[in-house]
Amino acid sequence: MKITKENKFMTPLSNSVKNKSQLIFAIFALLGFNMLGQENIVSSTAGNGSFGLVTASHTANLVLDDSDFEGVTIAAENFQKDIERVTGKLPELLSEENSEVKKHGNVIIGTLGKNTMIDSLVQHQNIDVSKIEGKWEAYTIKKSGENLLIIGSDKRGTIFGIYELSKQIGVSPWYWWADVPVKKSNELYIAKNGVTSTGPKVQYRGIFINDEAPALSTWVTENYGKFNHEFYEPVFELILRLKGNYMWPAMWGKAFYDDDPANGVLADKYGIVMGTSHHEPLARAQAEWGRYGSGEWNYETNEDTLKSFWRKGIERMGDRETLVTIGMRGDGDEPMTEGTAISLLERIVKDQREIISDVTQKPTEETPQVWALYKEVQDYYDQGMRVPDDVTLLLADDNWGNIRKLPKLADSTRSGGYGIYYHFDYVGGPRSYKWINTTQISRVYEQMSLAYDYHARKVWITNVGDLKPMEYPISFFLDYAWNPEDFSVEDLKSYPEQWATSQFGEEYAAEIAELLQKYTTYNSRRKPELLSEETYSLTQFNEAEEILSDFNELEKKADEIGEKLDSKYQSAYFQLVLHPVKASANLNRMYIALAKNKLYAEQQRNTTNKYAEKVSEYFEKDEEITDAYHAIEDGKWNHMIFQPHIGFTSWFDPKQNIKPETSQIDIPEEAGLGIAIANSEDYYPKSSNLSLPIFDKNNAKSSVEIFNRGKEELEIKIKKLPKWLKVSKTKAEISESEHLFFELVSEKLPANTTKESFIIQSDDDKVEIQVTYQPFDFKTEGFVAKNGIISIPANKYQENNGWEMIPDLGKRDIALRPENSFTQEASENASLSYQFSIKEDTKAKMSFLISPSLDFLDNGGLKFAYSIDGGDLKTLNLLKDTKDNWGTSVSNNVTEIIEELNLEKGAHTLKVYAIDPGIVLQNIIIETDSATPLNTYLAPTE
């Protein structure tokens, strides 16, 4: 299927009226003064003094100036079509010289200094543009007399004003890329006070299309032949509708300027600032070196050839808006030769800047440049390499969303400023992740708010892989970049519902927001490509069943909402919500079925082969879900979600999904008794020495699972049960397996510690199970152990002095970070207090579970401190006091620091103090020496 886009290039506007001044003064009489008003300015009903964009009797003309930027004209054409999409009425798009202009109320669109009518109105009628004049990408939308003005401070300011109105009338930026339907309305009115934006806080905000094979590349080949201007046209439009302005184009074997010379021309017309990726200097794609380069990619041995190669890139750039990447890495996005001299890299940069100034015939500092401190390049900087002050230092994350370096607050005066290169997608170790969205917007907020606070504000760009299916985090990234100063944690809480409303309307927005939050949280626990049958525990704290329950409930809700949604939303809903929910749920089911198959084969359960079949079913279901995605919109998105994600053994993705190997066993005819104990690796018949976890009033329940090891029905009885304990069944007939639940009988509890046993008996087996009741002999405070383990969620504090809770962050949706000033005197900083009780003197392990983070301020690590019961503070270092290496931390999405303690019987108070920013506390776990060693992936529930 060939996908075509409507031509965004309009024909020259009419020049029928030669005397512009007559028209200008005719409109002057209609103009007046207005105050700026509320942010949401569009309504379907008339308000006091509102401007009728579309009414029952009138559709406003859109009026432009021929001399304005072509990108403004393109955006106005899109706005014209947007109005028709919403109302069914197509406004006329007119030159300000057209005689039709003075007959009706008009929308006058223009850029200061590029639109004669706008400039004259400002000069002669005192239209106040003081809040936008001279600003970067600022705009104002205001009613003046019988006309509506959309005025931009510059080219993109006008474009953003246009698209802001498009969004408010009901056209999502994702109307084409995710098939979000427009919100229909017969009439549209604009509030008289309008709205003004003084421009973005981050100057360059963009996306990097990367790692685009096999999904996006195959889709593009089928629909466009290659990555040409027809493909990039809707990409440029999307970026602008999202108030972005910057892009690194696809580069896996692609060359933006060379594959289609119209690409760069179109980007400039639209208003997109182009760049090349972190390892493609002077506007030349890596692929171009393979096509036109000769000799080695080595400046020491091939300097003249490389200079000539780079020079052609700057010559081709011309005067189009470009952020020029400088510096050099090894060929193929690899480090340069080991031991590369800093002096050589500094000479490379010096020579590149000379090329820029020589070709442009301007001082080098007048051409914006970025030096990306990506991977080993940051090491050069840390070792003392420097570039001129006008160059933007593009700092980077670790490819897993953890920023590696930020400037010192005192460094904020650097003229070129600082930027951030972030990742929603990555190819590399410890495991590539490309298939589906796994990015929590709360994590983006936590990291990028740090970046903004430390003045990395010049450039924000994120690797978005194939673009789809990263619609949700892309929206957040660019929305947040527009004005981080005006975005709080409360805004973070409301963002998912606002975004859902923009795509699906208000009726089910809250429910859809919850689905968005939960599927991203569940996927961020461990990225799908890292999942295996060993990820979640089958034997402790019911973890695997909790995961299944989470996904089952999520999918059920997603299906219910999908059934209620109007048919017009179904395509978008499947792409943005239902597909990631179903695909993720199915994948987790497959791996947990595989885990059961492996464990049950060891235990010789009669359901072993059943779970082997389930693995096959879920594997096939994965392909069915993918095929459903590719079939929507008559195959519009065929290939787009085809990214292998099952069968990884290293970071390199397999060519196709690989079905996991399962176990099959021979099942005997005769029934056989098997017993698995809750929160224990022990089972019968592997062990005959079985005990239930110790009971007390806080641990009043436990269970065993009886399983059958043969084909015939298994009959069991419970005998000699202590009087202080009751069971859900005293006898059962079991074909496969059944849980028996034990609970304390409160009125028959012993006064002191009591140890007894009971019998589980079948026809052929008689198994004794030990049980112990051990009451507390003091008043407990706070958290108490379950099965010897105390699990304290970070947000369940006794006292909070200066820590901020970030919603939907961490493996269990809970995380806190310090929000006030930091000193190296921990006792003066933000603190948290927690209470817990220990039944008896014990050795214990206390684990702090903290979101992965890096030493972004180069302070020797990220430090915090703790004390117990007001004792001495002990300082811990997130990066030095953990046994987790970086790969383990990012894979697990948590860094664990373990402290060995000797705790006395009784109630205790734990106090946690901030020292450095960047500490995000998720959970605290205390394992007493009576506990079975903890073997769960998530922290146990409290």
CATH number of the domain to which 873 belongs: 2.60.120.1620
Position 8 pLDDT exceeds 50: no
Residues 839 and 911 in one domain: yes
Instruction: Give me 923's structure tokens.
Output: 């959970």
Distances (CA, A) of 53 to 24, 106, 107, 146, 399: 21, 8, 8, 11, 46
Q: What is the mean pLDDT of residues 673-697?
A: 95
Residues 301 and 429 in one domain: yes
834 Rama sector, left if φ>0, alpha if ψ -120 to 50, beta otherwise: beta
HSE-up (13 A, CA, CB side) for residue 778: 14
d(CA 270, CA 153): 16
Instruction: Give me 855's structure tokens.
Output: 């030493």
pLDDT at 99: 62
Residues 482 and 588 in one domain: no
Position 900 pLDDT exceeds 50: yes
d(CA 672, CA 678): 20
d(CA 427, CA 466): 12
Residues 877 and 729 in one domain: no
Q: What is the mean pLDDT of residues 662-688?
A: 97
Q: Within a domain: residue 839?
A: yes
pLDDT band at 821 (very low <50, low <70, confident <90, very high): low
pLDDT band at 931 (very low <50, low <70, confident <90, very high): confident
CATH number of the domain to which 722 belongs: 2.60.40.10
Nearest residue to 882 via CA among 917, 918, 927, 851: 851
Nearest residue to 510 via CA among 521, 522, 496, 520: 496
Exposed, middle or buried, 89 (CB in 10 Å: 0-12/13-18/19+)? middle
Largest interatomic CA distance in the chain? 107
Residues 88 and 132 in one domain: yes
Q: What is the mean pLDDT of residues 760-770?
A: 97
pLDDT band at 39 (very low <50, low <70, confident <90, very high): confident
d(CA 658, CA 432): 16
Letter string b/e over residues 565-582, b meaning 16 or more CB atoms within 10 A of that residue's CB: beebbbbbbbbbbbbbbb
Mean of per-residue pLDDT scores for the chain: 93
Q: What is the mean pLDDT of residues 717-738?
A: 98
Q: What is the mean pLDDT of residues 11-32?
A: 34
Q: Residue 273: phi, psi to the nearest 5? A: -80, 120
Instruction: Give me 25's structure tokens.
Output: 């003064």
d(CA 162, CA 160): 5
Residues 736 and 806 in one domain: no
Residues 221 and 186 in one domain: no
Nearest residue to 561 via CA among 576, 583, 545: 576
d(CA 163, CA 482): 14
Residues 369 and 515 in one domain: no
pLDDT tens for residues 554-582?
A: 999 999 999 999 999 999 999 999 999 99
pLDDT at 376: 86
Residues 419 and 560 in one domain: no
- The number of domains in the chain is 5
pLDDT at 35: 26
Contact 504, 565 (CB under 8 A): yes
Instruction: Give me 279's structure tokens.
Output: 């390892």
Position 413 pLDDT exceeds 90: no
Indicate the residue among 168, 197, 226 that finishes a domain: 197
Indicate the residue among 773, 807, 841 that finishes a domain: 773
Exposed, middle or buried, 177 (CB in 10 Å: 0-12/13-18/19+)? buried
CATH number of the domain to which 355 belongs: 3.20.20.520
Residues 430 and 562 in one domain: no
Nearest residue to 565 via CA among 96, 180, 57: 180
Nearest residue to 450 via CA among 486, 409, 417: 409
What percent of the chain stands above pLDDT 70? 94
Residues 617 and 708 in one domain: no
CATH number of the domain to which 40 belongs: 3.30.379.10
Q: Within a domain: residue 646?
A: no
Question: Which tops the pLDDT comparison, 640 or 933?
Answer: 640
Q: Within a domain: residue 84?
A: yes
pLDDT at 530: 98
Residues 251 and 362 in one domain: yes
d(CA 601, CA 815): 39
Across 31-45, 322-336, 470-484, least confident range: 31-45
Q: Within a domain: residue 280?
A: yes
Distances (CA, A) of 532 to 315, 438, 550, 648: 51, 16, 18, 9
pLDDT tens for residues 196-216?
A: 999 999 999 999 999 999 999
Helix axes 579-603, 608-635, angle to 10 degrees: 170
d(CA 421, CA 418): 10
pLDDT tens for residues 424-462?
A: 999 999 999 999 999 999 999 999 999 999 999 999 999
Position 5 pLDDT exceeds 50: no
pLDDT tens for residues 521-553?
A: 999 999 999 999 999 999 999 999 999 999 999
Q: What is the dihedral of CA 741, 746, 749, 751, to 10 degrees?
A: 140
d(CA 575, CA 144): 42
pLDDT at 333: 59
Q: Within a domain: residue 448?
A: yes
Position 504 pLDDT exceeds 70: yes
pLDDT band at 606 (very low <50, low <70, confident <90, very high): very high
**Cis status, amide bond into 660, omega within 30 of 0:** no
pLDDT at 410: 80
pLDDT at 663: 98
Position 17 pLDDT exceeds 90: no
Beta bridge partners of 801: 831
Nearest residue to 120 via CA among 143, 104, 96, 139: 96
Nearest residue to 856 via CA among 460, 266, 344, 378: 378
Q: Within a domain: residue 918?
A: yes
Q: Within a domain: residue 12?
A: no
Task: Supply angle C-alpha 386, 391, 393, rounded to 5.
Answer: 70
pLDDT band at 151 (very low <50, low <70, confident <90, very high): very high
Indicate the residue among 753, 773, 793 that finishes a domain: 773
HSE-up (13 A, CA, CB side) for residue 165: 33
- Residue 756: domain span: 673-773
Task: Supply angle C-alpha 537, 543, 545, rounded to 5.
Answer: 110
Q: What is the mean pLDDT of residues 162-174?
A: 98
pLDDT at 824: 77
Position 362 pLDDT exceeds 70: yes
Distances (CA, A) of 861 to 166, 857, 919: 47, 8, 11
Q: What Rg value do the Cα atoms of the chain yield, rounded?
A: 32
Please give the helix or strand (H or E) that residue 835 lies within, else none. Answer: strand 831-838
Contact 913, 827 (CB under 8 A): yes
Question: Which tops the pLDDT comparison, 702 or 11?
Answer: 702
pLDDT band at 338 (very low <50, low <70, confident <90, very high): low
Those residues with Cβ within 8 angstroms of residue 571's Cβ, 6 or more apart along the chain or in another chain: 179, 632, 633
H/E/C letters for each residue in 443-501? HHHHHHHHHHHCCCCCEEEEEEECCCCCHHHHHHHHHHHHCHHHCCHHHHHHHHHHHHH
d(CA 345, CA 329): 9
Helix axes 471-482, 509-525, angle to 10 degrees: 100
Q: Within a domain: residue 660?
A: no
